[in-house]
Amino acid sequence: MDNVPFPFTIEIGGKPIAKADVSAQDHTQAELGQKPAVFTLANGRLQNGDWIMGRDVTENRSFLPKQVSWYKANAENERRVQSVTAKKEASHYQLIFTKGKLMADEDGLILVDLLGESNSEVKVVPRDN
């Protein structure tokens, strides 16, 4: 499914993914932080305000973890960012970033684990806003 019916935050290892820095460039890597981003997932787009988060369609083809970045929401970036899907398991949702799951590195940068080697606990936490 490419929608989640409520706004939510994403926690990795108990820490939230932070909002995009409003002064950031068009393409900046997502990271954990103190100010959680409140997301919506509709039509395969993971969005927080004027920003979408995901993997770039032109990333390298290795099986190394892939960078997850913030992009300003516009028509060009809609084509540039890979779709995100959600899978409902019991009472919670699992986000899938083109065959991979989220993880954070030791510096708190957000990546996608393609090989399933990460033990990161990822939670989609419902929010009112």
Cα dihedral 22, 25, 26, 30 in deg (nearest 10): -70
pLDDT for res 26: 79
pLDDT for res 100: 93
For residue 126, the tally of other CB atoms under 10 A from its CB is 12
Q: Number of structural domains, the chain?
A: 1
For residue 124, the tally of other CB atoms under 10 A from its CB is 19
Residue 129 — very low, low, confident or very high, per pLDDT cuts 50/70/90? low
pLDDT for res 121: 94
Backbone angles phi, psi at 26, to 5 degrees: -60, -30
DSSP 65: P
DSSP 106: T
Q: What is the pLDDT of residues 14-32, one digit of tens each?
A: 999 999 987 777 789 999 9
Residue ranges in the chain assigned as alpha helix (H): 75-80
Where in the sequence is the domain holding 62, given as residue range(s)?
4-126
For residue 99, the tally of other CB atoms under 10 A from its CB is 10
Is the Cβ–Cβ distance between 50 and 39 less than 8 Å?
Answer: no
Where residue 98 sits, what CATH number does that domain have? 2.80.10
pLDDT for res 88: 92
Q: What is the pLDDT of residues 56-107, one digit of tens each?
A: 999 999 999 999 999 999 999 999 999 999 999 888 999 999 889 999 999 9
